[in-house]
Amino acid sequence: MGSAWSVRVAVGALAIVAAGCFQPVGPARTFHDYELKAESTAKSARSSVETARLAVQVATDGDAFPPYVSVLLAEAESDASNSQGTFLGIQPPDKHSDRLRDRLGRLLEQTGNVLSTLRITARRADLQQLKGQAARLPALSKRLDRFATEHE
């Protein structure tokens, strides 16, 4: 019941929690590990693509204010680039993994490019152009989704 004891327990618990959840992505030791990480990266990239798609939809339908759309697209872009950075930072454990890395890497690259173009256009509030640039999103989303399903 002593306070010193309880404080020690609390500090210990916090330390464990901190160690447990602030370590972003652990290393991948096997192909299977690596594949799991590739899958979740593809999923999160797809989430960004879909967010952008919906953002462009509400923008072009006149259902949203330009500042809001701009924030959505900027966040989608930075989320995608974060998950790309994290994934590429993982050491692929074998040759097999290298091929996976190349394939997903290319997809992530394209995603990043489209999302940053959209962000730039949104800041200029050019709806016509936004719609044109967003035309690439559905295909990209489908490919990311297929990649994730294949490696489930």
Residues of this chain that bind another protein (CB under 8 A): 1-4, 6-7, 10, 13-14, 16-17, 20-21, 23, 43-44, 46-47, 50-51, 53-55, 57-58, 61-68, 70-72, 75, 79, 123, 145, 152
Min separation Cβ 2 and another protein, Å:
6
Q: How far is the CB of 42 from another protein (least distance, A)?
A: 10
Q: How far apart are CA 6 and CA 51, in angstroms?
A: 45
Q: Give dist(CA 65, CA 63) in Å, integer.
A: 7
Q: How far is the CB of 74 from another protein (least distance, A)?
A: 8
**Rounded least distance, CB 21 to another protein, Å:** 4
Burial of 2 per CB tally in 10 Å (0-12, 13-18, 19+): exposed
Compare residues 51 and 133 and give the one whose CB is closer to another protein: 51
Q: Cβ closer to another protein: 102 or 150?
A: 150
What span, in angstroms and rounded, lies between the C-alpha atoms of 115 and 148? 20
Cβ atoms within 10 Å of 53's Cβ, excluding its own = 16
Give me the helix-helix angle, 95-123 and 137-150, nearest 10°.
Answer: 150
- Cβ nearer to another protein, comparing 72 with 100: 72
